[in-house]
Amino acid sequence: MISKETLKIFADMIFKETGIVYKDSNFYQLETRLDHIMQQNQVNLDQLLQATVVDHQPNILNQIFDQATNNETSFFRDAKVFQSMFSQIMKPFFEHNPGRSLNIWSVASSTGQEPYSLAMDLENYRVINRDANYRIMATDYSQRVLKKAQEGIYTQVEVQRGLSSINLVRYFEKIDARENAADIRWKVKASLRAQIEFRHMNLLSPQWNLPRQLFDVILCRNVLIYQDQSNRKEILRKLSQHLSDEGCLLLGCAEAITNLPEIYVVQQVGEATVYRLVKNAKPKNNVA
């Protein structure tokens, strides 16, 4: 068992790098993740402390920061939100902006289910409107989950979480014909993967390495709940500089913006709560 004092050392390191907050209430999660890292590297606690606190070994530190992130996700997570987002935000965008490409940013894309879900909705719509062009950028702190997202390979259990049989047949191909159905794996078809650009990104970086474009939809879902108030406010401020004038920001169902009324105004769109920019709230930080 790892002492609270030692867990606090690791928690402080994680907070400084990623902004993710570990407290007494969720130290058990941190301990589990540290135990996993020790087993993976065949080291004990003293050796782990030596490698991180004293020697600052980047490979071990990166594993700790990577494991600290919460990568729980599924296809079409919060299905009613996806339905409202498509019917009342994305579809009207194409109707009101013929010829314009819809730019979407999935801020914490994890293993890829969120951006692929968006792409599937849009590809289904393109069957009746071939001019509905779009581009999705997906970012995450964890290189490990980004690699999985880019590969687009999922287990039978993963595709059964939120994915309809129609979308499975249309956009995935079976890559394993195993005797045990639970061991089957599915790969996202190349045509769908080509619609998404995956990038590594730390939201706490002073400068965000992003394309010089504004986004019409930004999804930053279930990210801010792990940050303290100061980091939440700064991330939301910076997100606003990459949002188009008529664009919208979506947070997780348990998240809300309560302290930036000079930048964001809340709006209910069907089952989705979205945040739009207050008119003339601030300059766009030279984003083209």
Mean pLDDT value of segment 178-186: 74
- Is residue 282 very low, low, confident or very high in pLDDT (cuts 50, 70, 90)? low
Pairwise CA distance, residues 113 & 119, whole Å:
10
Residue 178 has pLDDT above 70, yes or no: no
- pLDDT tens digits, one per residue of 125-156: 999 999 999 999 999 999 999 999 999 999 99
Q: What is the CATH number of domain 79-147+190-277?
A: 3.40.50.150
Identity (one letter) of the amino acid at 46?
Answer: D
- pLDDT tens digits, one per residue of 35-65: 989 998 999 999 999 999 898 888 889 889 8
- Report the relative pairing of strands 134-140 and 196-200 from DSSP bridges: parallel
CA angle 148, 9, 220 (to 5 degrees): 40
pTM: predicted TM-score of the whole model, two decimal places: 0.86
Pairwise CA distance, residues 158 & 184, whole Å:
10
Residue 184 has pLDDT above 90, yes or no: no
Contacts of 26 by beta carbon, 8 Å cutoff, 6+ apart: none
Residue 188 has pLDDT above 70, yes or no: yes
Residue 70 has pLDDT above 80, yes or no: no
Q: What is the pLDDT of residue 286?
A: 46
- pLDDT tens digits, one per residue of 256-270: 998 899 999 999 999
Pairwise CA distance, residues 170 & 192, whole Å:
10
Mean pLDDT value of segment 168-174: 95
Mean pLDDT value of segment 240-257: 94
Average predicted confidence (pLDDT) for the chain: 91
Q: What is the pLDDT of residue 284?
A: 55
288: number of Cβ within 10 Å: 7
Mean pLDDT value of segment 262-287: 82
Closest to 224 in 3D by CA, of 44, 18, 84:
18
For the chain, the structural domain boundaries read: 4-68, 79-147+190-277
